[in-house]
Amino acid sequence: MGLFDKIRGEFIDIIEWLDDSRDVMVSRFPRHQNEIKMGAKLVVRETQNAVFVNEGKLADVFPPGTYTLTTQNLPVLSTLLGWKYGFNSPFKAEVYFVNMRRFVDLKWGTANPVMLRDPEFGPVRLRAYGTYTIRVANTETFMKEIVGTDPLFQVEEITEQLRNMIVSKFSDLLAESKIPVLDLAASYDELSRFANDQLSKDFGAYGLDLSKFLVENISLPPQVEQALDRRTEMGVVGDLGRYTQYQAARAMEAAAANPSGGGGEGIGIGMGLAMGQKMAEALAGGAPRGAPPPLPGSAPRYFLGVGGQQVGPLDLNGLRSEIQAGRLTRTTLVWKDGMSGWEPAERVPEVSCLFQPATGGAGGPPPLP
């Protein structure tokens, strides 16, 4: 400051701060040797507080308004200095202007995943991030605990500490909530309000007010999200067999629309359809289509050749019925499982014995007297 500026300062003295930034929380007013004369004007605008500091001690705090500095409105400072002449000479003091507006859209987030035990998926890792809003609520506490003698205190000088406090509290809150991972998205508002209540006391220790706290997203690792996407796809597909047929039909339509594709596409479609059917059968239980094999220990089944037509399968009772009807004779061709070919009925022992007469004849008892 030049000599002319110093002389002009003896006639008029206005102390004010015009803030043209968006991130300055505290700014010290520049003074020539910190001298302030009697009757100086102090202008404190809305969203500001003015703090007078003498020899490292916080003396007086002025809210918004215009003041003429006298012993009447500087009682603490006049007591500290102990003027013998009734505050008629200039005095030395540091003047700090504190920005009381809200600092919005400050970011927070977990640098490392938070380990949790989910009731459905078991151990999982979660990441979370969001925004918060702060303002200076207690000027004296903020100056004593945070700013000190910093001539220009900006918001980024404290955000790292605040972020660490938020992550620590929110991780503990998330673990204690026991909310399933798939239900977290529906609980963002509740988590935000509860975290705000839990963090307000910690912020208040710094003279700050946590005006708003928001949870924007809680996410799983990319690999787990991909697995959930595949699970969702399976739920949307539903019937795998019908989905495979639909895909094959779409492929056939695409092949028909591309006649220059050659015959390789048709082979690929057929193989894909066959594989799809096999997969559908495997998912349905692995049972092949067709008749099941005979149960172990069951009676053999016979087939007859009658009039050039195959008749059967028949059990022994069925063969007796065919004999009584005259369709099964000794020369009728008969086949059963295990025979190499068709044979006349009289050459098949278990069938030929069915032609024996029920009464009389060779091997039978004599007639009654």
In terms of DSSP bridges, do strands 91-92 and 35-36 run parallel, antiparallel, or are they unpaired?
A: antiparallel
Domain assignment present for residue 292? The answer is no
Residues 117 and 80 placed together within one structural domain of the fold: no
> Among 221, 247, 271, where does a domain finish?
221
Residues 107 and 215 placed together within one structural domain of the fold: yes
Question: Distance between CA atoms of 129 and 214, rounded to whole angstroms?
Answer: 9
Q: Which domain holds residue 250?
A: 238-283
Q: Which tokens go with 118? A: 């989910």
Residues 216 and 243 placed together within one structural domain of the fold: no
DSSP β-bridge partners for residue 115: 125
pLDDT band at 361 (very low <50, low <70, confident <90, very high): very low
Of 174-178, 297-301, 363-367, which gets the smallest average pLDDT? 363-367
pLDDT band at 138 (very low <50, low <70, confident <90, very high): very high
Q: DSSP strand E in the chain: where?
A: 14-15, 24-28, 35-36, 41-44, 48-54, 57-62, 65-68, 91-92, 94-99, 103-109, 114-118, 122-136, 152-154, 208-219, 302-306, 309-314, 333-336, 343-344
Mean pLDDT of the region 297-325: 79
Mean pLDDT of the region 103-108: 94
Residue 46 gets which letter from DSSP?
T
> Among 99, 133, 154, where does a domain finish?
99
Domain assignment present for residue 19? The answer is yes
Residues 154 and 178 placed together within one structural domain of the fold: yes
Report the CATH number at residue 345. Answer: 3.30.1490
Query: Which DSSP helix (H) or strand (E) runs through 138?
Result: none
Domain assignment present for residue 343? The answer is yes
* pLDDT score for 13: 76
Residue 2 has pLDDT above 60, yes or no: no
Residues 11 and 76 placed together within one structural domain of the fold: yes
In this structure, what are the phi and psi dihedrals at residue 45, rounded to the nearest 5 degrees?
Answer: -85, 170
Per the omega criterion (within 30 degrees of 0), is the bond before 296 cis? no
* pLDDT score for 296: 57
Domain assignment present for residue 367? The answer is no
Better pLDDT: 200 or 322: 200
Residue 136 has pLDDT above 60, yes or no: yes
Domain assignment present for residue 293? The answer is no
Residue 365 has pLDDT above 60, yes or no: no
pLDDT digits (tens, 9 = 90+) for 152-210: 999 999 999 999 999 999 999 988 888 888 888 889 999 999 999 999 999 999 999 99
Collect all residues with Cβ–Cβ distance below 8 Å to 140 and sequence separation of at least 6. Answer: 51, 58, 61, 207
Residues 116 and 184 placed together within one structural domain of the fold: yes
* HEC secondary structure over 305-367: EECCEEEEEECHHHHHHHHHCCCCCCCCEEEECCCCCCEEHHHCHHHHHHHCCCCCCCCCCCC
Of 115-119, 345-349, 360-364, which gets the smallest average pLDDT? 360-364
Residues 273 and 349 placed together within one structural domain of the fold: no
pLDDT band at 34 (very low <50, low <70, confident <90, very high): low
In terms of DSSP bridges, do strands 41-44 and 114-118 run parallel, antiparallel, or are they unpaired?
A: unpaired
The total number of structural domains that make up the chain = 4
pLDDT digits (tens, 9 = 90+) for 243-277: 677 777 778 777 777 766 555 555 555 555 555 56
Burial of 280 (0-12, 13-18, 19+ CB in 10 A): middle
Residues 142 and 73 placed together within one structural domain of the fold: no
Q: Note whether 29 and 52 are within 8 A (CB).
A: no
Residues 14 and 58 placed together within one structural domain of the fold: yes
Question: Distance between CA atoms of 96 and 142, rounded to whole angstroms?
Answer: 12
Question: Distance between CA atoms of 93 and 13, rounded to whole angstroms?
Answer: 14
Residues 204 and 251 placed together within one structural domain of the fold: no
Question: Distance between CA atoms of 94 and 82, rounded to whole angstroms?
Answer: 17
Residues 162 and 148 placed together within one structural domain of the fold: yes
Of 36-45, 167-176, 315-324, 353-362, which gets the smallest average pLDDT? 353-362
